[in-house]
């Protein structure tokens, strides 16, 4: 038997096995990495949260701070302009412990054939929220996610069809779910956020509404984050 020829043959087999194992390893590893990147997703949107003082109809809007102090009669308005296929939610928690989903958006709700980012006013048109006589702590949650927050959506559907103690318990579950979401992403890399006038077409019914929309849009901020973004605004209503 030719020992050198046997060694060469075995070496070739070993080399082929190593190459096959390497190729198999790459084939198994690459899709996992791609899926992980796709699962994280990108969140990109623009927003503005502004206020106007009571009794001053022609006052310029001002940005609402995260811990603002406002009074009865002051007005509030929110503007959201998603830039990517993300889901944006605006949730309101009143001083009377009531919850309301003020806004929910996903890429499927864009106008057919409209490729440009679209601004969404909350409330719509030239209407504003107005703080009533019920003083206390008002909280607004701004949430944006690359994936639908289906648990929160389902809980809100149950909440809106419930009353009394049942509704109260579901409301607590909603707040806990939002808090858990915020905690989960608190230690992740900080999102990029910068002041930028909000773009997009301002669709208005008259010049007064267009002027108001432009004022609000000029105070916009742009956010880019990986997978999720959350912001909490607590207003001391006095």
pLDDT in tens, 62-71: 999 888 999 9
DSSP annotation of 187 reads T
pLDDT (0 to 100) of residue 139:
96
pLDDT (0 to 100) of residue 125:
84
Kindly give, in sequence order, each residue whose CB lies less than 8 Å from that of residue 65, ignoring residues fewer than 6 positions away: 233
Which residues in the chain land under pLDDT 50?
Answer: 1-40, 107-108, 110-115, 200-209
pLDDT in tens, 84-112: 778 999 999 999 999 999 998 664 454 43
Kindly give, in sequence order, each residue whose CB lies less than 8 Å from that of residue 221, ignoring residues fewer than 6 positions away: 46, 47, 48, 193, 194, 195, 196
Asked if omega into 149 is within 30° of 0 (cis), the reply is no
pLDDT (0 to 100) of residue 126:
83
- Rounded Cα–Cα distance for residues 144 and 152 (Å): 12
- Rounded Cα–Cα distance for residues 231 and 166 (Å): 28
pLDDT (0 to 100) of residue 217:
87
Residue 101 sits at φ, ψ, to 5 deg, of -85, 105
- Rounded Cα–Cα distance for residues 203 and 182 (Å): 33
CB 45 within 8 A of CB 85: no
Helix, strand, coil share of the chain (percent; to 5): 35, 30, 35
The residue with tokens 């019914």 is 205
């Amino acid at each position: 038997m030719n020992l050198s020829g046997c060694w060469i043959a075995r070496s070739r087999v070993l080399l082929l096995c190593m190459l096959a194992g390497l190729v198999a390893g790459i084939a198994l590893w690459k899709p996992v990495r791609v899926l992980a990147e796709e699962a994280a997703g990108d969140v990109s949107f623009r927003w503005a949260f502004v206020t106007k003082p009571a009794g001053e109809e022609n006052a310029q809007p001002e940005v609402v701070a995260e811990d603002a102090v406002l009074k009865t009669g002051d007005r509030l308005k929110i503007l959201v302009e998603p830039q990517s296929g993300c889901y944006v939610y605006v949730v309101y928690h009143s001083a009377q412990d009531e919850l309301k989903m003020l806004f929910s958006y996903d890429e499927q709700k864009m106008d057919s054939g409209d490729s440009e980012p679209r601004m969404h006013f909350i409330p719509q048109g030239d209407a504003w929220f107005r703080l009533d006589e019920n003083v206390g702590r008002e909280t607004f949650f701004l949430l944006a996610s690359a994936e639908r927050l289906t648990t929160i959506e389902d809980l809100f559907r149950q909440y809106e069809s419930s009353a009394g103690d049942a509704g109260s318990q579901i409301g607590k579950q909603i707040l806990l779910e939002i808090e858990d979401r915020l905690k989960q992403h608190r230690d992740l890399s900080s999102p990029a956020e910068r002041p930028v006038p909000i773009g997009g077409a301002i669709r208005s019914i008259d010049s007064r509404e267009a002027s108001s929309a432009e004022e609000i849009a000029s105070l916009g901020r742009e956010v880019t984050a990986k997978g999720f973004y959350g912001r909490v605004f607590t207003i001391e209503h006095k």
